[in-house]
Amino acid sequence: MKKVIETFNRNFCRLRGYAVLHLSDRTLAPRFHVSTNIEAEKIIKKDNEKELLETFLQEIRPGDIVLDIGANIGLYTLPSALKLRGTGSVFAFEPAPIWFKRLRENIELNRLSSGNLVVPYNVGLSNKNETCDMIIKDVQGSGMGSISPNYQEHLDTDKVISIPVRLVQGDPFLREQGIPQPNLVKIDVEGAELLVLQGLEKSLRHKDCRFILCEVHPRFMSEPPENVKKLLLDYGFRCEISKERRSEYHILARKDLH
């Protein structure tokens, strides 16, 4: 019966054209465009990182500046912006054009495009400025992609494509764009975690940056994954490792503010 209900919900959302992400805070109900069952399932399934998303949202305070690095279609971007209720801003970074297009559509769908509620950038954050190839799964809504050289060999499908994407060094880009000092940062970059952290060193060391949620993908990384935690500790965070999910895990990094 459960599978029948899930199938019905997926088909209903696909025909309607959008799915609603239901959270414990009922005032937050972001909508997401869907055109495939994969897109619909990504939003409506209960095991889709929901616990981690709820944890991230609990850390948000009025007026916060949030960075969503590896924003994809906006799973963190949209509820974060709704939680801020116009008192702060979310800056979302997504280098893949196909997902950036969907991200912008979802921002419009939730009426978050006015002012600086959500500011999307079609770039990836790294430790230097460059254009490189990104391998993505060629399925609408899959959300799978990486600039990591060994990413493709770990995929279970041959339905992948390579696309050029723009990467920028984090701290200088934030300064050039006039982006305020971030308070919260979410990172999901499929193996490029260290590059992001290195490029944002100044911003992350700042006393006002108090929480980072970083997904770590050991099998895609070219350096030891424990270096992610070591770097966060060096930046002044205390780190909690969440339970592993498949082949990856999450680091919840907090600063003790006095």
Structure confidence by residue, pLDDT tens digits, 76-119 = 999 999 999 889 999 999 999 999 999 999 999 999 998 889 99
Strand, coil or helix: 33: strand
Q: How confident is the model at residue 235 (pLDDT cuts 50, 70, 90)?
A: very high
Count the domains in the chain: 1
Residue 11 has pLDDT above 70, yes or no: no
In a domain, 12, yes or no: no
Quote the CA–CA distance of 241 and 258 in Å, as a whole number.
23
In a domain, 24, yes or no: no
Task: Choose between 204 and 51: higher pLDDT.
Answer: 204
Domain of 109: which CATH number? 3.40.50.150
In a domain, 20, yes or no: no
Q: Evaluate whether 7 touches 59 at the Cβ level (below 8 Å).
A: no
Q: In the chain, pLDDT over 90 holds for what percent of residues?
A: 62
Q: What are the two backbone dihedrals, phi and then psi, of residue 138, each rounded to the nearest 5 degrees?
A: -85, 60
In a domain, 6, yes or no: no
Torsion of CA 253, 31, 26, 212, to 10 degrees: 10
In a domain, 13, yes or no: no
Domain that holds residue 148: 46-254
Q: What are the two backbone dihedrals, phi and then psi, of residue 46, each rounded to the nearest 5 degrees?
A: -75, -20
**CA angle, 61 then 67 then 72, to 5°:** 120
Q: Evaluate whether 192 touches 149 at the Cβ level (below 8 Å).
A: no
Task: Choose between 35 and 245: higher pLDDT.
Answer: 35
> SS in 3 state form for 191-239?
CCHHHHHHHCHHHHHCCCCCEEEEEECHHHCCCCCHHHHHHHHHCCCEE
Residue 155 has pLDDT above 90, yes or no: no
In a domain, 23, yes or no: no
In a domain, 140, yes or no: yes
In a domain, 195, yes or no: yes
| Amino acid found at 138 | D
